[in-house]
Amino acid sequence: MIPRYTRPEMAAIWEPQTRFRIWFEIEAHAADAMADLGIIPKKAAETIWAKGKDAVFDVARIDAIERETRHDVIAFLTHLAEIVGPDARFVHQGMTSSDVLDTCLNVQLCRAADLLIADLDDLLEALERRAKEHRNTLTIGRSHGIHAEPTTFGIKLAFAYAEFMRAKERLAFARMEVATCAISGAVGTFANIDPKVEEHVAKKMGLTPEPVSTQVIPRDRHAMFFSVLAVVASSLERLATEIRHLQRTEVLEVEEFFSPGQKGSSAMPHKR
């Protein structure tokens, strides 16, 4: 991600270290469930957690292994074995790579959605406050860009508030759409893994088991999620374009905040 346009909290969700931490948690929770079912020794599951819970995964080492194996999950599991030791042979039993990859992606999407929903709450608070503040602030209404009837700036902000309330509801639903987990093994048949493992991992990771899938979580869920992001982004663009228009020199009905010491141009000092 481009640091200039990314908050540390959002960037952290997508960093390799975070991704490998989630992979480990999925594998370790699966090991716990398998130990409870008597599939692997309980001591092994305990060792996996003890050796891996505070580990800092060596991203460069994993990348080096992947260059040889040409397989991202095998590269991670190989590195994890270097950390855990002999009991690592009980990791990933009955699972397939997509169990880890797809479940991890959905955990990341949920965490990202939580940040965005919190942002929308902040935006809604600001819009409500300003709409009430300017409920009687007269301004000209426009139709096709032409002066029409008078309105208030508060009504414009109230319109945006209603739009972003819908955006929040859509985003909350989209988050629910991707909050699923699949730990069903090769081609999703549960032939080599007990469905109770999926249920346990889903609960621990804050997800719900995918009702029906191959070894891949259905992609219509992700299509839905990103479509909603596009709709929310279009609402932001609409509001930003309105403000940009209203602060044109020849209109100048509103102005964005300009902090002390801020500069608007390297060539034109009058620009704000």
Give the torsion sign (CA, 56, 60, 64, 70): positive
| Sequence-distant contacts of 110-114: CB under 8 A, at least 24 apart | 110/175, 110/178, 110/179, 110/206, 110/207, 111/13, 112/10, 112/13, 112/14, 113/171, 113/174, 113/175, 113/178, 113/225, 114/175
- pLDDT value at residue 201: 98
Q: Give 258's pLDDT tier (boundaries 50, 70, 90).
A: confident
pLDDT higher than threshold 90 for residue 36: yes
49-98: pLDDT as tens digits: 999 999 999 999 999 999 999 999 999 999 999 999 999 999 999 999 99
Annotation marks residue 134 as catalytic: no
Spell out the SS3 assignment of 134-161: CCCCEEEEEECCEEEEEEEHHHHHHHHH
Residue 222 appears among annotated catalytic residues: no
Residue 1 pLDDT exceeds 90: no
Q: What is the average per-residue pLDDT within 14-31?
A: 98
Q: What is the pLDDT of residue 269?
A: 82
Catalytic residue among 143, 144, 147, 259: 144
Q: Quick check: 113 and 171 in contact, CB under 8 A?
A: yes
pLDDT at residue 46, as a whole number = 98
Query: Between 81 and 1, where is the model more confident?
Result: 81
Scanning the structure block, which residue is given the tokens 């599939």?
A: 39
Res. 237: pLDDT tops 80: yes
Q: What is the CA radius of gyration of the chain?
A: 25
pLDDT greater than 80 at residue 272: no
CB 180 within 8 A of CB 210: yes
Domains by residue range for the chain, with CATH: 1-93 (1.10.275.10), 94-195+207-256 (1.20.200.10)
Segment 143-158 mean pLDDT = 95
| Mean pLDDT over each residue of the chain, to the nearest integer | 96
- Average pLDDT for residues 167-176, to the nearest whole number? 98
For 188-228, the pLDDT digits (tens) are 999 999 999 999 999 999 999 999 988 899 999 999 999 99
User: Which residues fall within 8 angstroms of residue 251, CB to CB, at 6 or more apart?
Assistant: 245
Average pLDDT over residues 145-170: 96
pLDDT at 4: 87
The catalytically annotated residue of 143, 259, 265, 266 is: 265
Q: Is the pLDDT of residue 166 over 90?
A: yes
